[in-house]
Structure 1
Amino acid sequence: MSHSHARIQPKQHFEILDGLRGVAAMMVVLFHICETWNGGDHAKQIINHGYLAVDFFFMLSGFVIAYAYDSRWNPTNGQPGMTLWDFFKRRVIRLQPMLIMGNVLGALLFYFSASPKIFPIVATTSVSRLILIALIGCTVIPIPISMDIRGWQEMHPLAGTAWSLFFEYIANIAYALGLRKVSNRVLMVLAVLSAALLTHYLVTTPRGDITGGWSVNAMELKIGFLRLAFPFLAGMLLQRMHKRIHVRNAFLWCSLLLVVTFILPRFGTTASLWMNGLYEAMVIIFVFPIVVAMGAGEQISGRTATHLCRFSGAISYPLYITHYSLIYIYTAKVYDGKLTPMQGVTWGAALFVTAVAIAYACLKLVDEPVRRWLNRRFLVTGTTSL
């Protein structure tokens, strides 16, 4: 067996953590639907802190990456350890098919979001330029603001949420090239430093929250790295130190804890934005690690809960990466005054159901079959890409 095709035994799945990723993804969709109606004013949001789901995703990623790969680099039982090439193949197979699907869907629906009030440059964007942006988006390479085709200065204007995938890849590269080799003590120091930087930013930013990270400029990139660093490092630490909290019905309690942290009202006033920033720092630094430790500490039980958890986990990534193309269209309709508030609720509910349906279709028709084929083609039969 060649070095690059070393057999790697599949590992246990943390089904509750998978399910929680789905819960967070659904809250992101609801957050984006509600956000459309408040003109971006988070003080008026119903799901006020829904964007924190991204920070939760980064922590889950750090935990799962450390669990899945920390033990695979060293030779065992006469088999060579995993190479950097093996690792990157697995991560690309896991992430890339749906990233491409998100950009394809975004391109197909692009012109439906033309709006004189909110997306004025959509209608004047040429098809050739659209195709170019779609092709770049499929590589996860961010586009500069000068190439924007929508008007929101996004690094991925066809799949708005793909900005976090850009940082996810950076975290994966950092893990493979260095973080996997550092001791727990060094990891702890890095986590504490990143927590301090995150807290400092949150209590001093004029935004009063952690939103940001989706544009290629100095401030947005700074926010993106601040959002990535502590959660990913903390997730790795939680796994390496085997921190688990055992609670019955963990999926239910963790889901409730996540939902509550997302929907609590904004704290403080325009004169005391630091209060909201401090709240969000505490959620990321203390609440999310507890949720992950609880989710990892129990196995899902009960037929209904098991099915719900597995379905939620399965559609989480497809839902997160594809739903925003619908949000663009919905936003255009709202801003152009084509929907009354009651129609907005109806359309919003329909959007949510449609987003879940599209995610499930993408999972079954694209993600799972394409990854199976890629696994057979590029990895050893019987192994899975995590």
Structure 2
Amino acid sequence: MEAGPALELVAPQATARAPAAPSVHSQRLDYLDGWRGLSILAVLAGHFAPLAIYNTGRLGVEMFFVLSGRLMADVLFVERFPLGSFFRRRVARVWPGLFVFVALMAVVFHGPGPLAVQPIDIASSLTFTGNYVRIYLHNMGVLDHTWSLCVEEWGYLVLGLVALSARRFGFNPLLAIAGLAIACVANGMVQSGLGLDYYAVYWRTDVRMGSILMAAAVYLAQRQAGLAWPAWTTAAFGGLALMLSVAVVPDAIKYSLGTLCLSLALVGLDQAPQGLRRLLADPVLTRIGLWSFSLYLWQHPFFRLIGRAPEPLLLAGAVACALASFYLVEQPARRWLNRRWRAPKALSAAA
């Protein structure tokens, strides 16, 4: 991504106290790609090698959400990335691969059956509203997993609106983001208290977006307060997050206290021991992280076919399709769109 002013904070008074950790876009941090790689591996394990007492798939999705919050807080509130460019790049990153995936699923699963793709499934997947179709209408089969993209994309929109307001009116966005995160978490707790199940509560954008907002708030609070906790606390927060992700822990605790611990562990990676960061920066793990969006898209239809073919064969098929999507669709389309959108700016600058 093109970078705005590196390490610039919305709150001028906090600048002098901010830690010296590099901005994620002014200097690429391999250990964050490694975190992304661990996230998708957890999802794959949860689907193709599940454990009875531990749903690693849910943990993997939560790891994706807190990473998104940390990265978007850096891009929008530290670097103050231009909002137009930010949203164009989000479109270039997500839409080509998603559009091709949804179109192919509509063709392959067009007939009758439990996995049939219906017109409303297509429309809701491409407008990032499929989670509510799943909650209020029907199971979306091979497109069910787009619920997490719905949460992420609307989360980016909300953060973008907060950034726009903060830049226009000059307020510190931290309190606004923290307040929205608390509201989302409280919403989930209330609905869980009413006896609704996981899918009816924690697939909702107005609930699960709290995970993204919480991580964004933790990251901004850490920078603005200049906090630098001991290196060992990162592992401690990570361990607590793992303990709170065990199946027997109530969802309301998982996605409040558990998510907070996960956010603290992620944000603390900047001060974590070098050995831990080198482990996360392993080339294989970071490469898997770069493929993570493609892997997430394509693993689900193969997961839905478990029972019709051996799991290793289905997993191999998912990986093959994901790599084809990454190299033949997503990367070329992303480069083309970004070049096309940069061209008018270059002409304007030249003029």
Q: Is the 8 A contact 1:66 1:240 kept in 2?
A: yes
Of 62, 73, 98, the match for 1:55: 62
Give the whole-Å Cα distance in 2 for the aligned partners of 1:238 and 1:26: 25
Give the whole-Å Cα distance in 1 for the aligned partners of 2:326 and 2:63: 22
Of 54, 60, 69, the match for 2:76: 69
Give the whole-Å Cα distance in 1 for the aligned partners of 2:71 and 2:56: 24
Q: Is the 8 A contact 2:66 2:212 kept in 1?
A: yes
Of 139, 159, 165, the match for 1:153: 139
TM-score of the aligned structures, taking structure 2 as reference length: 0.71
What is residue 283 of structure 1 aligned with on the other side?
258
Per-residue CA deviation, residues 281-301 of structure 1 (Å, 9 max, x unaligned), is: 32123x211221233445776
Q: Is the 8 A contact 1:141 1:166 kept in 2?
A: yes
Structure 1 unaligned blocks of 5 or more: 1-5, 36-43, 74-80, 214-218, 268-274, 340-346
Q: What SS does the corresponding residue of 1:18 show, helix, strand or coil?
A: helix
What is residue 177 of structure 2 aligned with on the other side?
187
Q: Is the 8 A contact 1:34 1:46 kept in 2?
A: no
Shift of the 32–186 alpha-carbon distance from structure 1 to 2, 3 Å rule, reads same
Shift of the 17–220 alpha-carbon distance from structure 1 to 2, 3 Å rule, reads closer
Matched, 1:237 2:236: no
Give the whole-Å Cα distance in 2 for the aligned partners of 1:173 and 1:141: 13
What is residue 311 of structure 1 aligned with on the other side?
287
TM-score of the aligned structures, taking structure 1 as reference length: 0.66
What is residue 77 of structure 1 aligned with on the other side?
none
Shift of the 255–7 alpha-carbon distance from structure 1 to 2, 3 Å rule, reads closer
How far apart are residue 256 of structure 1 and its match? 7.7
Shift of the 194–256 alpha-carbon distance from structure 1 to 2, 3 Å rule, reads closer
Counterpart of 2:318 in structure 1: which amino acid? Answer: A
Q: Between 372-381 and 316-325, report the one with greater CA deviation.
A: 372-381
How far apart are residue 87 of structure 1 and its match? 2.5
Give the whole-Å Cα distance in 2 for the aligned partners of 1:246 and 1:373: 44
Q: How does 1:165-184 map to 2 (within 5 A)?
A: 165-179=149-163, 181=166, 183=172, 184=174
Structure 2 unaligned blocks of 5 or more: 6-24, 347-351
Higher relative contact order (CA 8 A, sep 6+): 1
How far apart are residue 278 of structure 1 and its match? 3.0
Give the whole-Å Cα distance in 1 for the aligned partners of 2:109 and 2:241: 31
Query: Which structure carries more helix by proportion?
Result: 2
What is residue 320 of structure 2 aligned with on the other side?
357
Give the whole-Å Cα distance in 1 for the aligned partners of 2:295 and 2:53: 21
Q: How does 1:92-241 map to 2 (within 5 A)?
A: 92-110=91-109, 119=114, 122=116, 134=122, 137-140=125-128, 142=130, 145=133, 152-154=138-140, 157-179=141-163, 181=166, 183=172, 184-202=174-192, 204-207=193-196, 211-212=198-199, 223-228=204-209, 230-241=210-221
Q: What SS does the corresponding residue of 1:13 show, helix, strand or coil?
A: coil
Residue identity (%) = 21
Give the whole-Å Cα distance in 2 for the aligned partners of 1:19 and 1:205: 38
Per-residue CA deviation, residues 45-65 of structure 1 (Å, 9 max, x unaligned), is: 353363243333222112101
Per-residue CA deviation, residues 259-312 of structure 1 (Å, 9 max, x unaligned), is: 944873424xxxxxxx56435532123x21122123344577659952023112
